[in-house]
Structure 1
């Protein structure tokens, strides 16, 4: 497809975000990032062991990739999705951090 010189973002309809939507969306993104970070901590903890469990490390890296994909799917206009993301990913981060011994 030839480049028409027009940015795809120039073709999008305008959307006004409320302050509430903006804050909720940013909090959801931070919750996902917190879960990704928790998996990073799990990986680091496992790698520091004398005999790291490679399955734990592989599982954590797979989860990080899945979370990155899910983060891209968040839509600020979907209030239910954002609310679920904020709660669910924060809980996931706590669970993953609880696995670190």
Structure 2
């Protein structure tokens, strides 16, 4: 709230279909899965006797980018949501496989 004016009170209503809601939630979960994959990578690296600090910082930077990408998702943009869902899920698989 700024100057006594509610920002959310100024938003136009938006009706979500069940399909849009499910797709948006799936995209958010895919992003969270990718963030989690990087968390696992960080934990694994930190557990080593001589952790690679460069790899850890790169993984943390990737997590930050993913958080920004996740925040940029727009429920009213089905193409963006579909693309994000696919790319985040693939990224999580790649990180866990040691590809990314």
TM-score range, shorter chain: over 0.9
- Once residues 22 and 38 of structure 2 are traced to their aligned partners in structure 1, the CA distance between those partners, rounded to angstroms, is 24
Equivalent residue for 1:27?
A: 26
Q: Unaligned stretches of 5+ in structure 1?
A: none
Report the TM-score, using the length of structure 2 for normalisation.
Answer: 0.94
Q: Unaligned stretches of 5+ in structure 2?
A: none
Aligned CA-pair RMSD: 1.2
- Once residues 76 and 10 of structure 1 are traced to their aligned partners in structure 2, the CA distance between those partners, rounded to angstroms, is 19
Report the TM-score, using the length of structure 1 for normalisation.
Answer: 0.93
Shift in Å at residue 99 of structure 1?
Answer: 1.5
Equivalent residue for 2:87?
A: 88
Count the aligned residue pairs: 98
Equivalent residue for 1:12?
A: 11
- Once residues 79 and 14 of structure 1 are traced to their aligned partners in structure 2, the CA distance between those partners, rounded to angstroms, is 18
Deviating 4+ runs (over 6 angstroms): none
